[in-house]
Structure 1
């Protein structure tokens, strides 16, 4: 019998002292045979390093990699380069993983020779709002084995799909064959990662079974009112995402013909950029980011990829507003 780990968990840690005990307890409760833990301490300045050293003795195959702070994508890439498991997963340390999640995903992945196995989860809000399923059952039901483009079109067409890595496990050899890595320094880099993975995956299966609580912190950067500078940074991150999505669509033209929603999502994310620009109060800062939008060809890309009367109508209204910003 091979001594290759069945699953490698690649875990990025940055100042995670508040979450690590609960996180590692949740991993122990998974009761996974032949588990490899690759934990990347991404320049933490709190007591994370001490906590990691303490938990290392509680797992049979536990590796700590220390590096200067470079962000979650760089930490994942560091761990990915060291992982040896048959399958890979990338859990976040501040979320809740239910017992049985990884065994269930491994069960369908090994039985059906999957490149990607994925399940459902729950949005949990710390401000008292009621929790809700990430993928509503009436929009996305369990599937049999599909090829990646079929699942991606079905998922994006639901308008309820969330680009995330943490609800999935991936066949390591598939990720390695494709040479996939995470984009350094990019917020929301799960969007291009998931898109390219699913465009190239041959065997994917989704089960509408809830195994993960995604905690939405009301005080987090993503869920608090922004400043002009934060809106500019967010717009620039999404411009980069659109450039990456457009390049991905260009690399896989045959698959994208089967997934018209790949073009729709560029326009959809583009509308988000326009919304951020509209909320910038300083006229000169708003003018500068609007000019960047046109200079980088982002507006042309958004318009080219728009699908349907509704998207074109929404974009058309915003075009004249953008031109007014440039005239300010």
Structure 2
């Protein structure tokens, strides 16, 4: 298959995904293979929570809508036109995917296919249904895709390179097991926001989206705030009140109750609004339903620290506080060229 043919298959997938939304689905008669896939996908979205308790219809639909937008022809062209892929392809690339948020491994699969390789996919036990369904749709659109997917049941074998995503602990295992193969091994990372005290109410509402989307389970979710000395959190709490209904979801509420109890029993001082706790802590990885914060005197010292600790950080949110900072409310809307861990997947795959 040519790159153009592969892109066209994904463009059709994007059109298919654009039909689904939490408020109302909009069936488009011009979308290919709707008669076979449309109703089945609605049912799968509804069942996702039974497969993974964190995959509510709202969160799955958000992910689906994000990918529908990303797979527009102009986005694929803008992304891939920057590369020479004329000599790329022909290898089998193992993918060990995470399952913390819906379709979190889709970008790796897309990258393998547009670079002309075959994907040997090991899905997470937490996300075993969405990606295989989309693979079936791609095959219906372009039958030659059938030779480009292999979904592995057990240990990965017979591959030329690997992209594996996991925790810091599993990363050590991956690095040992795959030491003889070209690889990208992803470890734990967290995202943070640097506030100056001059943020608007709308920006802080956007920060709430960065915190609460996917219940805070993603590496692009903000789990740490840097705030100026004597920062007044009143405006922050007023803005994130928009997301108060998160506490009505049982799994989130259980984490809130548990983590708050652990903090209080340890005599930690907390700021609390009954659905989120803020704890002063110099770490980055806060538990679900909590965000760490740290005061600073000099924002230049914060910049120096973030540069020194960049391997722990996925996203930095703020008003141009660093060269690569992201606007408020945008962490869960990455473009195709926003690579996890800032590792250019296409360059890696084009050179194996």
The TM-score normalised by the length of structure 1 is: 0.32
The TM-score normalised by the length of structure 2 is: 0.30
